[in-house]
Amino acid sequence: MTKRIYHPDLVLTERGFESGRAVVVNNDGRIEAIVPAKESEKHEAVRLVGKALLPGFANAHSHTFQRLIRGRTETRGASGDDFWTWREAMYRAANSVDADDVYHVARMAFLEMVMAGTTTVGEFHYLHRAQDRSAYPDPNLLSRKIIAAAESVGLRIALLRVAYARAGYELPPHAGQARFYETPQEYLENTAVLAAEFMGEKVWVGVAPHSIRAVPLAQLEEIAAWARERGLVVHMHAAEQVAELAACRREYGATPIQLLAERGLLSSKMTLVHAIHITETEMDALAAADTVICSCPTTERNLGDGIIDAARAAQRGIRFAFGSDSETLIDPLEDAREIEYHLRLQIQKRVVLDEIGGRNLSQRLFQYATEGGAQALGFDSGVIAIGRPADFFAVDLGDPSIAGNSPEDLLASIVFGLSRTAIRDVMVGGEHILRDGRHPLQEEIVNSYQSVYRKVWQA
């Protein structure tokens, strides 16, 4: 790639929104300089007239195949009234797609992410086996399909390869989960092959023991040690449901996070997804280990999981990221708003997360959605600064949702009021993958997805 220069009306740097600045991207897809706009006139700059440039979002927790169940689980007849019955609809989707379908559905979810300003995704991937429950000749075939989908759309991807060994404590294997299961040996062997092939800046691999209910403690410890030796990130679900805590207590005499802390498994390389039902002592343990919480407020609200006490976590300095999880709605700013708004409803006060640790509310939420997510995935994007990846999105300053705001209050207007249609351009590594609200493959991606949807639900 040749050197590129982007010249918007405003750029969000570490000092706030600045005018009269241009961003220079080097041949490696990183920011070489932020220069006075006049200097860009000497070169062929990409002029982003009437637009503000911001760092791209990092989606730290995604299950792309679940895009298929959007709108299909909003009646009791279709999915019951809790998380555990909702899973049955999810299993139907998981068992209805072949390898090519997985690719097309992932591209649809990734397209939506790009159109929402996302530049990096962590795909928590646990579809491994064929529809007849046998192993593919290449056990990583479906992982490769997900990676290819991200490459097609233009996203960076951390493929978080999931270990899934059982249905739960003292439970028989679940037919709906048959495509998820691998033996401990299969999991490490297959993940090692994938990690050896994909460890770059556009695609890399992390490990993901699904949860303490799906991965017994001995295997979890083996995976954590294996990842630690290789410097890989570790992601897992924890403390999402009250029933999950009860099962863990029956098996181990401790809650999931208490167990992780007692076994020395918490670390700065670990991200716990949800972590809703946790005690003050468990928060202290997360803070001491510098472990990340990936909150998925849209999904958690949809499933009735509960509300995380983000204020107490923030007071301890616990790092946060956001994830689209079940793809009920793909909008990182909606997740950012909800983590605050849920608290407001719960305690009947406003601006709950403001000024904790001296941090402004809008800056905090935006950082969680950008740099926070990137850190959880082991990457250094999320800030427009020299040396950082050139991953941006541009918003239309004349869009009705934010029109008229000054640079001083623009970030708050974006975090709390931006319409997704205001996002007009997205760049990853300096490459312009969304222009004026359109992706070059948009029509093909949508048409292919619609064919898969009809196959799954109208067959």
Q: How far apart are CA 271 and CA 236, in angstroms?
A: 7
Write down the residue that tokens 């709906």 correspond to. Answer: 176
The Cα 432–Cα 429 span in angstroms is 9
Active site residue 325: yes
Q: How far apart are CA 195 and CA 26, in angstroms?
A: 27
Catalytic residue among 325, 331, 396, 425: 325
Among candidate residues 273, 401, 371, 274, the one with its CA nearest the CA of residue 54: 371
Q: Write the CB contacts of 220 (distance below 8 Å, at least 6 apart in sequence).
A: 209, 212, 236, 265
Residues 6+ positions from 44 with CB-CB distance below 8 Å: 5
Torsion (CA) 64, 211, 59, 317 in degrees, nearest 10:
170
DSSP state of 420: G
Give CA torsion, residues 444, 449, 451, 456, to 10 deg. 170
Check 63, 104, 125, 274 and give the catalytic one: 274
- Report the C-alpha gap between 161 and 153 in whole angstroms: 20
Burial of 230: CB neighbours in 10 Å, binned 0-12, 13-18, 19+: middle
Active site residue 354: no
Instruction: List the catalytic residues.
Output: 274, 325
